[in-house]
Amino acid sequence: MHNKPKEALIHMSKRKALTWYQAWGIRLIAIVAALIVCAVITSITTGLNPLEVYATMFAGAFGTKRRIWILGKEVAILLCISLALTPAFRMRFWNLGGEGQILMGALGTAACMIVMGDTMPNAVLIPVCIIAAVFAGAVWALIPALCKARWNTNETLFTLMMNYVATQLVAYFVIVWEVPKGSGKIGIINQSSKAGWLPVIAGNRYLLNILCVAMLTIAMYIYLTYSKHGYEISVVGESVATARYVGIKVGWTIIRTLMLSGAICGFTGYLLVAGTDHTLTTTLAGGQGFTAVMVAWLAKFNPLGMVLSALLLIFLGRGAGEIATAFTLNQSFGDILTGIILFFIIASEFFINYQLHFRGHGHNGPDKGGSSSAPLASGRAPEGETDSANSKEKREDPANV
Amino acid sequence: MKKTLSILLALILVMGVLAGCGGGGSASSSGEKPAAAATAEGEKPGDDDFLPANNIKVGFIMLHDENSTYDLNFINAAKAACEELGISEDNYLIRTNIPEGQECYDTACDLADAGCNIIFADSFGHEDFMIQAAKEFPEVQFCHATGTKAHTEGLPNYHNAFASIYEGRYLAGVAAGMKLNEMIEKGDIKEDEAKIGYVGAFTYAEVISGYTSFFLGARSMCPSATMEVTFTGSWYDETAEKEAANTLINDGCVLISQHADSMGAPTACEQAGVPDVSYNGSTISACPNTFIVSSRIDWTPYYLYAIEAVAAGEEFDVDYTGTISTGSVLLTEVNDKAAAAGTAEKIEEIKQKLENEEIYVFDTSTFTVDGKNLDSYMADVDTDANFEGDTEVISDGYFHESEKRSAPYFDLRIDGITLKDEK
């Protein structure tokens, strides 16, 4: 029957750019599919009505005015960390040290609030805290950046290890400042005097945090898209050789960008200590330095897109917590649903960039790279471009969207 | 062709199964209505001063979930208390995995929004955030276990609770002392080798009070007993606790006890064949050969007391100490396989004496500090930044633990106990 050479059952090829509505159509299908799979799993494992579970998730995130504010506060913090990581990621510098840089910023803030709390008015103390936090975060990112620029050390491992050093430093200072002695807890700093606390504006304690991060988001978008620095970051990310050739100082760009990245992480630590939590613990960052990596990737390093991806992740987390309480399930059940939904969303990005061809469907013949292999599914890819383009474009992936 | 067809058929089959299950599942769940929507609605508590028990809503905030022995002990108590009072599942909300930060305040306020009349938190680091929430919701009662600030805070709706667990520790120590005696009689060890090892979390009054009372219980049975203590610097660190126990065993400790929340020390003992006196609950299933007995706090009596008071619209203690008599301090079943003969009877006998106040755990004639018996000590009962002693706690020949406030404040370093480190 077949006298042609054997062809793979399934093979994939790079799509041409889809229009925005086609891309969002695929994303929508993915979310619907995820919800169906979650519904099936919910029914099988718990016997609950999936629609009620979804309604509860929604209520957990948006159910009351307070919950909406909490959601906003948490989105702001996660978004702020993602914004911090983005310039480094665009440069292909994998800063996994967000967690440690946040803790250092938090430590700097807490130190100022505790040591200088009653020596100066708030108008002076607040800027002092911000400077300390930004400086501490920047230094924590600068150390691996210097080593990368000078000795080309592995930044992934280096930044990751710095997290543990930061955690231990915080653990040490928690013991130094603990109240009461021996408890291993600092408690709320300056609870009666509120020295160093960010002011409550318009009657809401989280509004100022949200506004700060909103402004930072726009600033970061402009910085990355329209500034010379932003352009240099992209070029270094694409190819270090090209960057050198056009006269960009690669080492300086790495150092400068990482200091910015660490400084914003430090600022997040400031917002956590002076803005919301008013305490210092080793778990203050709560793994968000890593969650932010996902937020940034999901939005393809676009600061405006990160608002959506951060919102999605926080919504899922808050919803999962509410399910655990309302149905007396373990929190892990909510996490399973979150995992499934994320899996589908990440997979949808694959289908936006690639398409699958099944043997006998969509190919007229096995003649790869030849004149007759136009995929049937879209019919829009020019002939011969599928496979050769595939390998090249794969490498350019995240930054070019 | 054939292969494609078979894959297609398989896919159809899978789809069919999934669809079938989906339909079946939702059909079965529509029968029993889960406790969902009520929480989202957020009904405000009524303005009536008197609330009958079936019209009361209770919130619980837990640091971790049931995988932690510490939190499991609270969760079980919460469920038991609500069941006993006939509070339906719709009317009590348990929030797990709430860290000791702003999330605690957010969660407490959210529970108050949802109409809870009384809210409990279980971890020491929750305290300041509970106080913050208590100030915002004066009509809701906030209760915090293990905290130290309620008696000085002056908030009528903020409460602390603890139990006189040092009495339970003392009784567990009695079992340990009898075990040491048995080992001496059998000739396994000499009299001066009766050394106990103790794995603690922090050099914190709660831990110091715990190991000292345990030691005094053991020494009341075995006068030659000594003790070595090491700290892990964490309330839950399985590896560190296991290593600490092994270090103590290598140092020549012949019996181990611990005050930290993982299974690290008990499993190390089971592997080394060294007897262990446990905490927070029985570890007999994992350690059938070495587990002797365990003391624990049962929070159910406090939950019942506080919820009933709120239901009746009555005021209740700002600082509550559960005791053996209230049923708050419990000992598990004695494991006859590991314990010395007659242990259960002896524990019962000493327990009676403690309840009748014939003996006191911290009787100042039974211990010395730097070689001297104490007749006065100023303890740091009121939390302040300087940690200065502010209250006389020794009178009538004994140290009055958990009487000036519920959380322990015994922090004396008595002779006979050596600390390997401090954290």
Residue B320 lies in a domain: no
Last residue within a domain, chosen from B80, B114, B145: B145
* Long-range contacts of B148-155, Cβ-Cβ distance < 8 Å, separation of 24 or more: B148/A180, B148/B383, B148/B405, B148/B407, B149/B383, B150/B318, B150/B319, B151/B318, B151/B319, B151/B382, B151/B405, B152/B382, B152/B383, B155/B131, B155/B318
- Does B40 sit within 8 Å of A330, measured CB to CB? no
- Nearest by CB to A56, from B36, B66, B203: name it: B36
- Rounded to 5 degrees, what angle do the CA atoms B114, B120, B123 make? 130
When divided into structural domains, chain B yields a total of 2
Q: Which residue of A has its CA nearest to B203?
A: A182
Per-residue pLDDT of A254-301, as tens digits, reads: 999 999 999 999 999 999 999 999 999 999 999 999 999 999 999 999
User: Do A26 and A156 belong to one domain?
Assistant: no
Tell me: ipTM over 0.90.
no
Per-residue pLDDT of B114-141, as tens digits, reads: 999 999 999 999 999 999 999 999 999 9
Nearest-10 crossing angle of helices A303-326, A288-298: 130
Residue A314 lies in a domain: no
User: Do A134 and A272 belong to one domain?
Assistant: yes
User: Do B121 and B183 belong to one domain?
Assistant: no
Residue B29 lies in a domain: no
Which percentage of chain A shows pLDDT scores above 70?
Answer: 89
**pLDDT in the model for residue A331:** 80
User: Do B177 and B108 belong to one domain?
Assistant: no
Last residue within a domain, chosen from A243, A274, A308: A308
User: Do B139 and B181 belong to one domain?
Assistant: no
| Residue A388 pLDDT grade (very low, low, confident, very high; cuts 50, 70, 90) | very low
pLDDT surpasses 60 at B3: no
User: Do B190 and B267 belong to one domain?
Assistant: yes
Distance from CA of A43 to the nearest CA of B (A): 5
How far is residue A169's CA from residue A131's CA, in Å, rounded to a whole number? 19
SS3 label, residue B160: strand
Q: CB-based contacts of B279: which residues, under 8 Å, 6+ apart?
A: B210, B257, B258, B259, B294, B295, B296
User: Do A25 and A125 belong to one domain?
Assistant: no
Residue A349 lies in a domain: yes
How many helices (H) does chain B have, and how many strands (E)? 12, 17
User: Do A289 and A231 belong to one domain?
Assistant: yes
Q: Write down the mean pLDDT value for chain A.
A: 87
With a CB-CB cutoff of 8 Å, which residues 83-112 of chain B face chain A?
Answer: 89, 93-97, 99-102, 106, 109-110
Give the tokens for residue B97.
């995995």
User: Do B51 and B133 belong to one domain?
Assistant: yes
Residue B197 lies in a domain: yes
Residue A320 lies in a domain: no
Residue A242 lies in a domain: yes
Residue A319 lies in a domain: no
How far is residue A377's CA from residue A379's CA, in Å, rounded to a whole number? 6
Residue B24 lies in a domain: no
User: Do A149 and A199 belong to one domain?
Assistant: yes
- Does B35 sit within 8 Å of A326, measured CB to CB? yes
User: Do A275 and A357 belong to one domain?
Assistant: no
**pLDDT in the model for residue A369:** 42
Q: Which residue of B has its CA nearest to A323?
A: B36
User: Do B58 and B128 belong to one domain?
Assistant: yes
Q: Tell me the average pLDDT across A148-163.
A: 94
pLDDT surpasses 80 at A252: yes
SS3 label, residue B195: strand
* pTM score: 0.82
**pLDDT in the model for residue B43:** 40
Residue A316 lies in a domain: no
Residue span of the structural domain in which B372 resides: 166-296+331-419
With a CB-CB cutoff of 8 Å, which residues 203-232 of chain B face chain A?
Answer: 203-205, 207-208
Q: How many CB atoms lie within 10 A of CB B303?
A: 27
Residue B184 lies in a domain: yes
How far is residue B179's CA from residue A362's CA, in Å, rounded to a whole number? 79
Q: How many CB contacts within 8 angstroms connect chain A with chain B?
A: 145
When divided into structural domains, chain A yields a total of 2
User: Do A200 and A342 belong to one domain?
Assistant: no
Q: Tell me the average pLDDT across A346-375.
A: 65
User: Do B239 and B363 belong to one domain?
Assistant: yes
How far is residue B423's CA from residue B410's CA, in Å, rounded to a whole number? 17
Is B342 within 8 Å of chain A by CB? no
| Residue A373 pLDDT grade (very low, low, confident, very high; cuts 50, 70, 90) | very low
Last residue within a domain, chosen from B112, B145, B178: B145
Residue B176 lies in a domain: yes
SS3 label, residue B257: strand
User: Do A197 and A237 belong to one domain?
Assistant: yes
Residue A386 lies in a domain: yes
User: Do B280 and B206 belong to one domain?
Assistant: yes
User: Do A214 and A116 belong to one domain?
Assistant: yes
Residue span of the structural domain in which A202 resides: 69-308
User: Do B379 and B410 belong to one domain?
Assistant: yes
SS3 label, residue A197: coil
| Residue A362 pLDDT grade (very low, low, confident, very high; cuts 50, 70, 90) | low
**Which region among A230-239, A387-396, B300-309 has the lowest average model confidence (pLDDT)?**
A387-396
Q: Could you tell me the CATH number of the domain that includes residue B265?
A: 3.40.50.2300
Last residue within a domain, chosen from A279, A308, A337: A308
User: Do A222 and A367 belong to one domain?
Assistant: no
Last residue within a domain, chosen from B145, B176, B204: B145
User: Do A290 and A342 belong to one domain?
Assistant: no
Last residue within a domain, chosen from A308, A343, A369: A308
**Which region among A45-59, A65-79, B19-33, B297-311 has the lowest average model confidence (pLDDT)?**
B19-33
pLDDT surpasses 70 at B389: yes
Per-residue pLDDT of B289-344, as tens digits, reads: 999 999 999 999 999 999 999 999 999 999 999 999 999 999 999 999 999 999 99
Is B136 within 8 Å of chain A by CB? no
Higher pLDDT, B16 or A112: A112
Q: Tell me the average pLDDT across A148-168.
A: 94
Residue B159 lies in a domain: no
Residue A40 lies in a domain: yes
Q: CB-based contacts of B155: which residues, under 8 Å, 6+ apart?
A: B131, B134, B135, B318
Give the tokens for residue A55.
């309604």
User: Do A25 and A90 belong to one domain?
Assistant: no
Per-residue pLDDT of A12-64, as tens digits, reads: 888 887 888 888 899 899 999 999 999 999 999 988 999 999 999 999 999 99
User: Do B172 and B136 belong to one domain?
Assistant: no
| Residue B40 pLDDT grade (very low, low, confident, very high; cuts 50, 70, 90) | very low
Per-residue pLDDT of A178-201, as tens digits, reads: 887 778 889 999 988 999 999 999
**pLDDT in the model for residue B53:** 62
Q: Tell me the average pLDDT across A86-95.
A: 94
pLDDT surpasses 60 at B38: no
**Which region among A178-187, B176-185, B212-221 has the lowest average model confidence (pLDDT)?**
A178-187
**Terminal-to-terminal C-alpha distance of chain B:** 70
Residue B311 lies in a domain: no
- Nearest by CB to B29, from A43, A188, A279: name it: A43
Give the tokens for residue A130.
């911000």
